Amino acid sequence: MTATTARVDCDVKDLGLAVLGRQRIEWASREMPVLAQIRQRFAAEKPLQGIRLVACCHVTTETANLALALQAGGADALLIASNPLSTQDDVAACLVAEHGIPVFAIKGEDTATYLRHVHRALDHRPQVIIDDGSDVVATLIQERQEQVAELIGTTEETTTGVVRLRAMLAAGVLAFPAVNVNDADTKHFFDNRYGTGQSTLDGIIRATNTLIAGKTLVVAGYGWCGKGTALRARGLGARVIVTEIDPVRALEAAMDGFQVAPMHEAAQVGDLFITVTGNKHIIRREHFELMKSGAMVANSGHFDIEIDLKVLEEMSHEVAHLRPFVQEYRLKSGKNVIVLGEGRLVNLAAAEGHPASVMDMSFANQALACEYLVKNKGQLAPGIYPVPAKLDGEIARLKLVAMGIEIDTLTATQVEYMNSWTAGT
């Protein structure tokens, strides 16, 4: 449904879903106490007053809570999807109908619509961009140079987006400050590891209802997302094989107790493959040729490029839709390969993404990073900045308080010892 009501321009599926969206957003808010505190302070202090802000995120219940915090802070916020399959249509409806936030996102939108929404977001003339994968920032640089000067800065949610920002910096095209939210400790240690670990298996299980126990599960990539996925798969009883290109990460996986093997070996024995590398063509023709018939492949990396679906299609005579988010590629060789979530982020396509409790910290970082950019408007040279350690630490402290966990503090003697160099053997 494309609508321009008197108040809110939007492109959402059905505004009638708003009540369901409200219930689900409130449910998520129960596990987002840190963001709730920031929202309360923002409502009082209005640190983003009048700032035109675009958030390109997965439109989920958790993102809705972020959007409401930004709105409470005075931002003139507009939301678009960062993935064509991740939008929760009821959430989009609620944000428009009950909170007056313009949203342009529909689950299942085609690429043309996705790109149209990116341009609609840029028509908002953002001063701050929250990006997840860097599509808005890349489009701004490539197609809207005349708007670059209006940008105070951007924040980036995910590893893939940070990789792109670094490439922009190296190419000399990053003309504004970018805060690397992904690498905040309270983001990637929890969201990438425990969030991806749980939600990826959640997506696979919701899509297939398959039993993980006893399966040979291949995890491609042992970054934080791969570590979490391998850990949780083992917890469910899978025999886990990790593939890597980085020797240190491969060693880490081996010493964490996983079998490590190249993909051409893993391909022959895997029942279920999960790509989480951030790179392209991790599973390609030579691997499909080696797979057992009925092997399942899923992706939890940001873009749908990790599994070479184009080549799989060429190898097939037919693609059958077996269940939502489950497609069987019937190969000319007589074998079948099952693809989950169309090779897109399976945790968001077939499930609800990371649970609210980890997004609480990720989005607390996002909200504080936006405030930081606005507070330091004009003071930060173009470049990539970490979330200030003080903010990262404060988010951890608040999360512990919310979880009812107390920790020790250093005694005066310990402080003195830690600051001295004279005391030794």
Binding residues for ligand ADE, rule: CB under 6 A, are: 57-58, 60, 62-63, 195, 348, 353-354, 359
Sheet with 216-220, strands from edge to edge, namely: 259-260, 239-243, 216-220, 272-275, 295-299, 336-340, 326-331, 316-323
Q: Closest CB to ligand ADE among 160 and 208? A: 160
Cα(143)–Cα(169) distance, rounded to whole angstroms?
17
CB 136 within 8 A of CB 129: yes
Nearest approach, Cβ of 347 to ligand ADE (angstroms)?
7
Structure-token pair, residue 246: 């980085």
Q: Which residue is nearest to ligand ADE (CB)?
A: 353
Structure-token pair, residue 150: 């209006």
Annotated binding site for NAD(+): 158-160, 192, 221-228, 244, 279, 300-302, 347, 354
Nearest approach, Cβ of 117 to ligand ADE (angstroms)?
16
Q: Closest CB to ligand ADE among 32 and 141? A: 32
Q: Residues near 404 by Cβ (< 8 Å), separated by ≥ 6? A: none
Nearest to 51 by CA among 80, 79, 71, 81: 71
Annotated binding site for substrate: 60, 132, 157, 187, 191
Q: Closest CB to ligand ADE among 24 and 215? A: 24
Q: Closest CB to ligand ADE among 240 and 361? A: 361
CB 107 within 8 A of CB 91: no
Nearest approach, Cβ of 367 to ligand ADE (angstroms)?
13
Nearest approach, Cβ of 83 to ligand ADE (angstroms)?
9
Q: Closest CB to ligand ADE among 295 and 387? A: 387
Nearest approach, Cβ of 181 to ligand ADE (angstroms)?
11
Cα(159)–Cα(164) distance, rounded to whole angstroms?
9
Residue 201 DSSP label: H
